[in-house]
Chain A
Amino acid sequence: QVQLVQSGAEVKKPGASVKVSCKASRYTFTGYYMHWVRQAPGQGLEWMGWINPHSGGTKYAQKFQGRVTMTGDTSINTAYMELSRLRSDDTAVYYCASGDLLDKFDPWGQGTLVTVSS
């Protein structure tokens, strides 16, 4: 069964950066896009962007332009999402989700809690 396993929880200070990983198994990593979605405490889902692991191409939501970088390492079937200049309102669970560019997000990773606090 296709599976996405994310890295563990992180605690960061305001102004720092965080890098979350998402390791894919049991499917062709380069055959699908990897989307990143976040969820602040008690809030809804917010799409952040995608990376095409095959080409390295990316697209980010305007809100995160300049602060987010999505990368992939095809040798270890792992995607990364790095968010810089962290603020307290970046405290959220960050999810990776595999899918086609214009189709369903399935499956999802288990989520990584990032807490930004001084």
Chain B
Amino acid sequence: QSVLTQPPSASGTPGQRVTISCSGSKSNIGSNYVYWYQQLPGTAPKLLIYRNDQRPSGVPDRFSGSKSGTSASLAISGLRSGDEADYYCAACDDILSGLWVFGGGTKLTVL
């Protein structure tokens, strides 16, 4: 059972907009930044969104992040087949000691 809660699956057709939610608590999302990682099949996770809504260089602006209270969301617009992957949210759960938690992951299928 992961500390952060994500839907196990999401889907959409090419061109559509999909959102993936991530629910936490006051100690993690409610107090700290949220991060999103994309894991393409058979590869290591890759940073997708940092500090709630910031994109690293090279990440298309089709990907966006937001946070409100103890929940966060990842939105993907203009869905493409190459976006089919697992998506994980993460947050620090204790800033004094740097304890981190992940969501259980959401498998995105492009129909």
Binary per-residue interface labels of chain B (80-101) against chain A in the complex, 1 for a CB within 8 Å, 0 otherwise: 0000001010101001011111
A76 within 8 A of B: no
B103 within 8 A of A: yes
A105 within 8 A of B: yes
Interface of A is mostly: strand
**Closest B-chain residue to A105, C-beta based?**
B47
A interface with B by C-beta (< 8 Å): 33, 35, 37, 44-47, 50, 59, 61, 95, 97, 101-111
Q: Looking at the assembled complex, report how far the CB atom of B105 sits from the nearest CB atom of chain A, in whole angstroms.
A: 4
The answer on a CB contact under 8 Å between B102 and A110 is: no
Q: Chain B residues near A101 (CB, 8 Å)?
A: 98
Pull 7 A–B residue pairs with CB atoms less than 8 Å apart, ordered by A: A37-B45, A44-B105, A97-B45, A101-B98, A103-B33, A104-B47, A104-B50
Binary per-residue interface labels of chain B (41-53) against chain A in the complex, 1 for a CB within 8 Å, 0 otherwise: 0001111001100
Tally of contacts, chain A with chain B, CB under 8 A: 61
**Closest A-chain residue to B42, C-beta based?**
A111
Q: Chain A residues near B47 (CB, 8 Å)?
A: 104-107
Q: How large is the interface on B (under 10, 10 to 19, 20 to 34, 35 or more residues)?
A: 20 to 34
Q: Chain B residues near A59 (CB, 8 Å)?
A: 97-99
Question: Complex Cα distance A58/B111, Å?
Answer: 44
Contact of B37 among A105, A109, A110 (CB under 8 A): A105
The answer on a CB contact under 8 Å between A33 and B35 is: no
B68 within 8 A of A: no
The answer on a CB contact under 8 Å between B37 and A45 is: yes
B60 within 8 A of A: no
The answer on a CB contact under 8 Å between B95 and A102 is: yes
The listed residue with most A CB atoms (<10 A of its CB), out of B33, B46, B51, B100, is: B100
Question: Complex Cα distance A103/B91, Å?
Answer: 9
Question: Complex Cα distance A101/B37, Å?
Answer: 17
B104 within 8 A of A: yes
The answer on a CB contact under 8 Å between A108 and B44 is: yes
Q: Chain B residues near A47 (CB, 8 Å)?
A: 90, 99-102
The answer on a CB contact under 8 Å between B102 and A45 is: yes
Q: Looking at the assembled complex, report how far the CB atom of B40 sits from the nearest CB atom of chain A, in whole angstroms.
A: 12
